[in-house]
Amino acid sequence: MSRARVVSTPLTGVDLLLADLDGVVYAGANAIPYAVDGINRAQASCRVGYITNNASRTAESVAAHLREFGLTVTADEVVTSPQAAVVLLAGLVPAGSTILVVGGEGLTSVVEAAGFRVTRSAEDDPAAVVQGFAPSVGWADLAEAAYALHSVEGREDRPWVATNTDWTIPQARGIAPGNGTLVSAVHTAIGRLPIVAGKPETAIFTAALERFGGKKALMLGDRLDTDILGANRAGIASAHVLTGIDQAKQLLAAPAEQRPTFILDDLRQLDAPYPEIEESVARDGSREFRSGDARVRLRGPKVELRTPKASRIDIIRAGCAAVWGSGLAIYALDVDARLYSDA
């Protein structure tokens, strides 16, 4: 069988790159290796916008942080989940309404800029609750949201908008609880779910595409359940980078709606040749999937690595092609552990 034919790079034909931040560009205060160089190279051929579910900071503070790493960014090039959340609020409550805000300056500043009045107390009879992540959010804040959102006989339930529901957030010291964890606490107390503005919902993607334009966009992310699912829902291509939350095991098990177009080790590969997956069928009916120098065989329910010395990223790509091409759920397959081992 001939070697896999290199046909393009992930950036081929792309005129708009949408990059997630946490786990893609940085983790906490530190830039992720190769991320800045990779994005700067991409900026020479296409427009770059940043799209983040993190509601703890303003767009300007995010842009300033990115500039410290050596990226050329303005506040208008950062699309945040609070920006998408206030668009939803505007369709739910009258202009100028009092909104109970759970979150930090990244959320309050956007709510106020949209003409709403911010309160932190349910006793101020807010028209709605909007909730976003901030490191300072504590039990008292969550309790006020629950008090405001409890159903009262004879009163229509107040709208509840969450900027995002990411369960975790990457930090310099490791993985920490995200806004989804805090939203879940309020949900447990009141028994209903919020309207969500950020990824994987399409509101934030719609805002980004309307702001930046572009005919062919590529979403760059590290989470399958937000970045990749959201891109798929928005109808745009995606590249999953293995520098953040989801790794090989999650990729192999990804349901169809969470599967990325490209899989990258880091952003050095953003403009590198991307091998086309090749498939062949043997006489015994087994199928072999090849990416670069990696070969993975699908024989019945068994998924076997044939080339253990192949490059790690191509092993993952070929393994995903085999699992995804099987048509079976991951629990119905016997997957070679070397396909998802960290070694």
**What amino acid positions are annotated as catalytic residues?**
20, 22
Q: 3-class DSSP state for residue 321?
A: helix
User: What one-letter code names the amino acid at 180?
Assistant: G
Residue 33's contacts (CB-CB under 8 Å, 6 or more residues apart) are 243, 266
Q: Are 243 and 32 in contact (CB under 8 A)?
A: yes
Alpha-carbon gap, residue 306 to 294, rounded angstroms: 8
Using the CB atoms, write b or e for 44-58: b if 16+ within 10 Å.
Answer: eebbbbbbbbbbbbb
User: Taking every pair of C-alpha atoms in the chain, what is the biggest distance, in angstroms?
Assistant: 73
Q: Are 261 and 237 in contact (CB under 8 A)?
A: yes
What is the DSSP track for 193-229? --EE-STTSSHHHHHHHHHH--SSEEEEES-IIIIIH
Q: In what order do the strands lie in the sheet with 262-264?
A: 78-80, 47-52, 16-19, 217-221, 237-241, 262-264
Helix (H) or strand (E) holding 326: helix 312-326
Alpha-carbon gap, residue 313 to 315, rounded angstroms: 5
Alpha-carbon gap, residue 144 to 141, rounded angstroms: 5
